[in-house]
Amino acid sequence: MPVTAKKHDIHMNFKIAVLPGDGIGPEIVEQALKVLKAVALKFNHSFEFTEGLVGAAAIDQTGNPYPDDTHRICMDADAVIFGAIGDPKYDNDPKARVRPEQGLLAMRKKLGLYANIRPVATFPSLIHKSPLRKDLVEGADFVVIRELTGGIYFGEPSGRSEDGNKAYDTNIYTKEEVRRIVNLAFEYARKRNRRLTVVDKANVLATSRLWRETVQEMVPDNSDIEVDYMFVDNAAMQIIQWPKKFDVMVTENMFGDILSDEASVITGSLGLLPSASVGIHTSVYEPIHGSYPQAAGRNIANPLATILSAAMLLEGLGLTSEASAVRNAVTNSMDKGIVTEDIAKGKTYSTSEVGDWITGAIG
């Protein structure tokens, strides 16, 4: 897949920034690093890992959820593997001026992480976990591409009136931002089944009309791709009714946030879905689930989404055979029932046991 990565030398040596973050982040990232080390050994590569602080862990030590030192580590890396951000002690403090999630937004902005890529695919051995009927989800395989640095989450001005009775946010997009993300979506569609769905609300929103007009201008230069347009409310319905009809979906920041979370339930577990955030400087690979603080330190968290994120990282570095080896090992672990309690039918395995089994399968 065309995930942006820095050029590497012919010796296949790579610098990887490691941001474990909060909650279960350190435990699941540890399993991904085991897997990457096994890949390096088997395929004769070299990975240099450098760890940085982010989120609540960074606030506790530096007062900043995305410290300058961490940013320098990321800027110097060929790719970033990231765990999770979030801590209840900040969630439950309405007066907290600095929150862990601000570190995530700062990282996206400073690294220029303009696109979030979320593959949604079902695994045959886990279809019984999906809340949808087997005939609806079996064979579902699509990608949601979400614009990540524009839109209502970053638009200025935003705020509240002095009396507190009115609040406002501003949704802003430029044609350049739309072209950048849609060009990436065309690339993904070209690598898959050459179908692209553009999701907007062009019947109501001026920003959506800009999106649709811009895509229409791009279509003649991408005539090999079948393009259709869908209002976001219709898309939300059809993802559940006919998930197999989609190939690549591209949309703005807030719509993508909601739709990609909705799509994640198709697989039956948040613990299975990886993601990549494509950047101008480097790219960040992370599971889509959160920090799950209730499970932190208990060695029960599902590491598969993080390990599959490591597979996306390898693919982003151009190591497609290596990525396939990781995905095959993950699939085999599920087929054999070597999984954590959240998706187990019978015997359950710990986070580290699953990581060890997959590492062994690769080696």
16, 36 Cβ separation under 8 angstroms: yes
Indicate which residue of 68, 228, 233, 335 is catalytic: 233
Residue partners of 72: CB distance under 8 A and separation at least 6: none
In which residue are the tokens 């890396």 written? 77
Indicate which residue of 91, 169, 261, 356 is catalytic: 261
Indicate which residue of 153, 169, 244, 356 is catalytic: 153
E strand or H helix at 147, and its extent? strand 141-147
Q: Cα(147)–Cα(127) distance, rounded to whole angstroms? A: 29
Residue partners of 308: CB distance under 8 A and separation at least 6: 272, 273, 274, 287, 326, 327, 330
The yes-or-no answer on residue 221 being catalytic is no
Residue partners of 360: CB distance under 8 A and separation at least 6: 38
The yes-or-no answer on residue 349 being catalytic is no
Nearest to 37 by CA among 102, 81, 86: 81
Indicate which residue of 201, 285, 342, 349 is catalytic: 201
The yes-or-no answer on residue 135 being catalytic is no
Q: Please provide the distance, in angstroms rounded to a whole number, between the alpha carbons at the two ends of the chain.
A: 24
Indicate which residue of 22, 257, 285, 342 is catalytic: 257
Q: Cα(182)–Cα(147) distance, rounded to whole angstroms? A: 9
Listing DSSP states for 253-321 in one string gives HHHHHHHHHHHHGGGS-GGG-EEEEEESS--EEEESS---GGGTTSS-S--HHHHHHHHHHHHHTT-HH
Q: Would you state the torsion angle of the CA atoms of residues 259, 265, 266, 268, taken in this order, to the nearest 10 degrees?
A: 160
Q: Cα(10)–Cα(254) distance, rounded to whole angstroms? A: 40
The yes-or-no answer on residue 37 being catalytic is no
The yes-or-no answer on residue 163 being catalytic is no
Q: Which residues are catalytic?
A: 153, 201, 233, 257, 261
